[in-house]
């Protein structure tokens, strides 16, 4: 899937340019932001770019929206790793931000990335050209990244870490903690392109199915074969390994059906079909 590499490289370049200041006054906070934001697979930003492209928007016009999503993703990882949250010392093969820069600076770097996400959109030429699209995108990202989305999911996830949860609660955690930002990534691409309501609705449904499959497969890959040591809020712990596999395939199949509808409308969905096939390969 060469488009994953190509898109990632474009996003990496844009992020590096965006997170920069000529003033030495901001060196420490910029260094901490760059430390955590310049890296990763860029899946969410890629979804933004690819949905924008599918609906006729060029990458240059869509890039501020992809940068915004990646800023929010980076902020969430910094905060997830903090001692008061998941307390992880390593991230992407190197010390977490709070280990490298101290807990207070890591907290502020996350805050800075979150707030800069909205500057990346509002100060862009894309927003100047199509302000109504930018307003939709900002509303979408602020809602799905906040207490009605990712943050709300994180709160539920922390609560669930100390007790067994039922399938309904776990589904809500996945929908909010993981699925909300994936949904916003897809919708940001739609808004960048000025897609109509029907196309946005279909795209949102794809994002929902993709997000659930993505999280379930992550839980399957994290499972070490021992239900006793498995995290309490793991899909495998709650539903069992066989059921987890069945449900992952079911979500992927629903996502493919949605892509078939978009394809019938004349849109090239091949890259998104490849992404679903990639999820299947990860699970095997």
**Domain ranges (residues) in the chain:** 2-283
pLDDT at residue number 231: 86
DSSP state, 124?
S
Output phi, psi for 225, to 5 deg.
Answer: 90, -5
Whether pLDDT at 22 is above 80: yes
Of 12-26, 200-214, 221-235, which has the strongest mean pLDDT?
A: 200-214
More confident residue, 87 or 283: 87
Partners of 91 in the β-ladder: 94
In angstroms, the CA 270 to CA 82 distance is 39
Strands (E), the chain: 90-91, 94-95
Whether pLDDT at 51 is above 80: yes
**Would you place residue 13 in the very low, low, confident or very high pLDDT band (cuts 50, 70, 90)?**
very high
Q: What angle do CA 132, 137, 142 make, to 5 degrees?
A: 130
Whether pLDDT at 121 is above 90: yes
pLDDT at residue number 228: 84
Closest CA to 134 of 37, 42, 68, 46: 68
What share of the chain in percent tops pLDDT 70? 100
pLDDT (tens digit per residue) in 171-218: 999 999 999 999 999 999 999 999 999 999 999 999 999 999 999 999
Whether pLDDT at 229 is above 90: no
Half-sphere exposure of 225 (CA within 13 A, CB side): 0
The answer to whether 216 and 247 have CB atoms below 8 angstroms apart is: yes
Closest CA to 32 of 140, 108, 86, 125: 108
**Average pLDDT for the chain:** 95
Whether pLDDT at 283 is above 80: no
pLDDT at residue number 161: 80
Distances (CA, A) of 71 to 80, 111, 115, 187, 218: 14, 10, 9, 16, 22
The answer to whether 15 and 66 have CB atoms below 8 angstroms apart is: no
**Would you place residue 163 in the very low, low, confident or very high pLDDT band (cuts 50, 70, 90)?**
confident
In angstroms, the CA 142 to CA 150 distance is 10
In angstroms, the CA 79 to CA 82 distance is 5
In angstroms, the CA 96 to CA 92 distance is 8
Overall average pLDDT of the 8-22 stretch:
95
In words, the CATH class of domain 2-283 is mainly alpha
Give the global pTM.
Answer: 0.96
């Amino acid at each position: 899937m060469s488009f994953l590499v190509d898109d990632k490289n474009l996003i990496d370049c844009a992020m590096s340019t965006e997170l920069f200041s000529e003033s030495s006054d901001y060196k420490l906070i910029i260094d901490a932001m760059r430390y955590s934001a310049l890296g990763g697979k860029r899946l969410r930003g890629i979804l933004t770019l690819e949905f924008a492209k599918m609906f006729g928007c060029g990458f240059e016009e869509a890039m501020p929206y992809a940068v915004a999503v990646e800023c929010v993703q980076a902020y969430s990882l910094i905060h997830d790793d903090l001692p008061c949250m998941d307390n992880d010392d390593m991230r992407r093969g190197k010390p977490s931000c709070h280990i490298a820069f101290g807990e207070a600076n890591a907290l502020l770097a996350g805050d800075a990335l979150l707030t800069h996400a909205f500057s990346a959109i509002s100060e862009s030429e894309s927003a100047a050209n199509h302000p109504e699209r930018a307003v939709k995108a900002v509303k979408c990202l602020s809602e799905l990244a906040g207490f009605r989305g990712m943050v709300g999911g994180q709160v539920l996830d922390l609560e669930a870490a100390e007790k067994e949860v039922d399938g309904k609660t776990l589904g809500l955690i996945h929908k909010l903690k993981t699925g909300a930002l994936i949904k916003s990534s897809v919708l940001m691409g739609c808004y960048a392109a000025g897609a109509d309501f029907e196309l946005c609705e279909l795209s949102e449904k794809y994002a929902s199915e993709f997000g659930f499959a993505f999280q379930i497969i992550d839980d399957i890959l994290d499972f070490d074969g021992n239900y006793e040591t498995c995290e309490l809020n793991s899909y495998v712990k709650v539903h069992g390994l066989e059921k987890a596999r069945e449900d992952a395939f079911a979500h992927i199949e629903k996502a493919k059906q949605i892509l078939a509808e978009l394809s019938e409308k004349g849109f090239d969905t091949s890259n998104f079909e490849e992404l679903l096939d990639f999820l299947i390969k990860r699970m095997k």
